[in-house]
Structure 1
Amino acid sequence: MGRIKAVCIGRQYASGGSEIGAMVAKKLQAKCYDHELVDMAIERSGISREEFEKYEEEVISPLHSPISSLFGSKHRDLTEAVFHAEGEIICEIAEKEPTVVFVGRCADSVLRNRVRTLHVYIYSDMEKRMDNAIRKYGISQDEVEQVIKRFDKKRAFYYECNTNKVWGDKSSYDLCIDSGKLGYETTASIIAAIVRASE
């Protein structure tokens, strides 16, 4: 089957996915792309940052025209431009780098049949995620649970529209791992070990 070239991390909000992605990359002496993809896609697409960030997490794949058609033409044009810009960049990076880590943005689907990937889903229980969100993002205790649920719903919609798979369902991934129970370091070590074992 060949060596795993790309680790694609999906994650529940405040489960540590971004931090773990960076740790995996460090262990593999690879690059990690998360929010950096936004800057690169803004430059590629020519869309203003304000417009890009507004639509970036609402992207609907142009392959899903029945869903896309529910939106106005301006929204549809912007979402398709964002989807294409990020997708092109993800493919270019994956083909160029010996090993790379992507956090979010449906990289697993974008890279399907292009390079060998490891699809990972990181989750944790609500209590730990609430603690993380309060500490890391400064969200108030009264609002934190609703914020987490809102972000999870948004990510699920984005993923399912663009991949034809179910966000968070074990059948959509090669590995589902509880970062709350195992901790970030152990989680990252497991993922890195799987990649090394494919060499």
Structure 2
Amino acid sequence: MAKTNTIITIGRQFGSGGREIGYMVADKLGIKLYDKEMLQRAAQDSGICEELFESHDEKPSNSFLYSLVMDTYSMGYSGSTYNDMPINHKIFLAQFDAIKKIANEGPCILVGRCADYALEGYPNLLSVFIHADLDARIKRIAKKYDLTDAKAKDLIIKTNKKRASYYNYYTDKRWGDADSYDVCLDSSVLGLEGTAEAIIKLIEVKEKGIKRNIWQCDE
């Protein structure tokens, strides 16, 4: 049984260890982490080929307007409207739907893919952004992928640029800005395990606050 009722979303700089930290938190809380699994779920529910989700994964597209997509989502879309959409529209909407369905099934951790924005307004949501010192990220990526420091730095810059462009394009917030999340944590200061422990502590504080508010409302 899960040790929490909170849904945690994790945004992360490439090389910060965000996904590993997420797995640590998931393991300690007894909940599931969704990373690429979000794409699998979206493909399964929508009937769209999973390879298409992977090819568009956290990559911005200039082939359609964000406002058009969101207007279509918020207003509901008819079968004919949906069929006429470019594949990019369908992929975004399917992923958006999948994130909401996963969250509605219970506490979990969702990594990247604008999950914090898709679930905005959920009272049991804790959105976290994990960053780290550039040198620490370079060392981590160079070691993980057996790259030179220069190539690791180049990969980090390119990957983060894609993630930022994707997030900034599809949401009304800015990727990595403190105002866009409930909390931002530096894994190069706290360490991976320390960051995981901090997230768990934050969840405990948040859930105590929710309970306190419920009791006050009952009085």
For 2:117, the equivalent position in structure 1 comes to 109
Name the stretch that deviates more: 26-35 or 137-146.
137-146
| Aligned residues of 1:56 and 1:79 also touching (Cα < 8 A) | no
Higher Rg of the two aligned structures: 2
What runs of 5+ residues in structure 2 fail to find an aligned partner? Answer: 70-84, 208-219
Cα-to-partner distance string for 1:63-112 (whole Å, 9 max, x where unaligned)? 4349xxxxxxxxx7222222122211111121111x21111011111011
**Shift in Å, 1:24:** 1.1
For 1:5, the equivalent position in structure 2 comes to 6
**Shift in Å, 1:21:** 0.7
CA-atom RMSD in angstroms? 2.1
For 1:45, the equivalent position in structure 2 comes to 46
- Tell me the matched-pair count: 187
Q: Is residue 133 from structure 1 mapped to residue 141 from structure 2 by the alignment?
A: yes
Q: TM-score normalized by structure 2?
A: 0.78
For 2:182, the equivalent position in structure 1 comes to 174
Q: TM-score normalized by structure 1?
A: 0.85
Cα-to-partner distance string for 1:8-31 (whole Å, 9 max, x where unaligned)? 110000100100111111122111
Q: Is residue 122 from structure 1 mapped to residue 130 from structure 2 by the alignment?
A: yes
Kindly tell me: are residues 141 and 59 of structure 1, through their superposed partners in 2, closer, same or farther at Cα, counting changes over 3 Å? Answer: closer
**Shift in Å, 1:139:** 3.1
| Aligned residues of 2:43 and 2:49 also touching (Cα < 8 A) | yes
What runs of 5+ residues in structure 1 fail to find an aligned partner? Answer: 67-75
Kindly tell me: are residues 124 and 84 of structure 1, through their superposed partners in 2, closer, same or farther at Cα, counting changes over 3 Å? Answer: same
1:1-199 pair list within 5 angstroms: 5-59=6-60, 63-65=66-68, 77-97=86-106, 99-199=107-207
| Aligned residues of 2:66 and 2:169 also touching (Cα < 8 A) | no
**Shift in Å, 1:115:** 4.3
Percent pairwise identity: 38
* Alpha-carbon distance in structure 2 between the residues aligned to 1:80 and 1:59: 12
